Structures are given as C-alpha cells and as structure tokens.
Amino acid sequence: MGNLPSFENGKHAVFLDRDGVINRMVFHAEFGIVDSPANPDQFELMPGAGEAIAEFNRLGLLVIVVSNQPGIAKGKFTAELLDAMEEKMIAGIAAGGGKLDAIYNCLHHPDALVETYRIRCDCRKPRPGLLIAAARERNIDLSKSYMIGDGITDIAAGSGAGASTLFVNSRKCYNCDSLSEHGVWPDYLVADLGEASEVIRSLEAGDRNSVQHFELKCAP
C-alpha cells in the first residue's frame, strides 16, 4: 500500500468493471462458454446502466471503466472491434443520460497467442494497476473512491488500491465461500449498478446507516 498515490483534496471516482456490470455477458455456442462479447452486435447494456452512471455524474464523481480485455491477445477479436464495442457502450450510456470520463483496459494475458501481449503485467486485475494509473493521471483520492465489479478479481483490485468495494452478485452462500477462499471481501453486496448508485449516494452524503443492509453479513 505504500506505493499508492495519495492526493490531498483529490477527486472521488467510481471505477467500473465492464463485462457483467455495464453490459451483459454472452453465450458463445462454438466454445460452449459464457464470456465477454466479441463484437458490437453481441454488446448489450445492462438495464439501467446508463441511468446509474448518470447518478454518479450528478454526484460529481469521475466514472472510469477498468477492464481486463484479453480478447485481442487471445485472437478472439481485433482492436477495431474493441473500439466499436466501446463506441456502442458510450452511446448507450449517453442515451441513459450518463457519460464516462475514461476507459482503462488491460490488454495483456500471460498465455496470449499474440506475443506482444504475452506478459505478466501490473495492470491485469486482480492487481490494482489500472486504478493506480488512473489515480496518478487524474488526481484521484483512491481512499475516497469506489470499485464496482462482479468478479473476485475486481474486488481484489479495488481493495488493493484502497478503494471501497461493491460486489455485483447474488446473495448466495457459495459467493461467501468463494470470496473467503480467495482472501478478499467486498464492503457491500449489490444486485446491479442501480443498487450500487443508491449505496454510493448515501455514502457520499455521509449516511452509512441506510446502507447497512447492503453489507455482506457472512464475512469471516
């Protein structure tokens, strides 16, 4: 934690994972798996995502996407298709009244087919490199910021950066078991970005009592 940037009077930010939080995951029949979309036709925003992001905007928070996107490295799609998906994401969020301030992607993977991206980096979540880079470049106080994600790697990255974490997931005991197994624990459990915006609105207002029912009660 000693190498984390610390900015007095720094900005507050909401860091968002992309797939499964902003947009739906996709079933890829050819591989028999659920994975990230690989082209704009497959890219579909979650209901209410644009409106939730608009609420973050109204609260004066920077809204920054931090996403592992190894699809290019794995040969699943091209840089042009990634750009096209991001353009569709930005347009869909704007239709809901919201806007993103930045997008930070990790394009690397240790087993990449494309040699350029075959490295063990500091930016691939669960490492907090994407959040730290954004904080340094945009004068963000990570200790007063939030990470919202639907994966254990998101919670680990947010915790490693010193941010408050919101886990988008169901209230099931196996989630508790999996979190405990990996040694990470979110501050709050929410169903979607809409609930996340409720929690963050209360926290920004200094009202912690109203968010107690979003705390994960089965913590070790």
pLDDT above 70 as % of the chain: 91
Alpha-carbon distance 26 to 20, whole Å?
9
pLDDT above 90 as % of the chain: 71
Q: Is the Cβ–Cβ distance between 128 and 157 less than 8 Å?
A: yes
Name the nearest CA neighbour of 78 among 50, 114, 28, 122: 114
Q: Is the Cβ–Cβ distance between 142 and 131 less than 8 Å?
A: yes
Residue 41's Cβ-count burial label (10 Å; 0-12, 13-18, 19+) is exposed
Q: Which pLDDT score, from 0 to 100, does residue 190 have?
A: 95
Q: Which pLDDT score, from 0 to 100, does residue 1 have?
A: 42
pLDDT: is 81 or 174 the higher one? Answer: 81
Q: Which pLDDT score, from 0 to 100, does residue 7 have?
A: 67
Tally of residues, the chain: 220
Q: Which pLDDT score, from 0 to 100, does residue 116 have?
A: 83
pLDDT in tens, 131-158: 999 999 999 999 999 999 999 999 999 9
In CATH, the number for domain 13-214 is 3.40.50.1000
| Six token digits for residue 110 | 């240790």
pLDDT in tens, 70-96: 888 888 899 999 999 999 999 999 999
Q: Model-level pTM greater than 0.75?
A: yes
For residue 140, what are the β-bridge partners? 11
Boundaries of every domain in the chain: 13-214
Q: Which pLDDT score, from 0 to 100, does residue 220 have?
A: 53
What is the overall mean pLDDT for the chain?
A: 90
DSSP state, residue 126: T
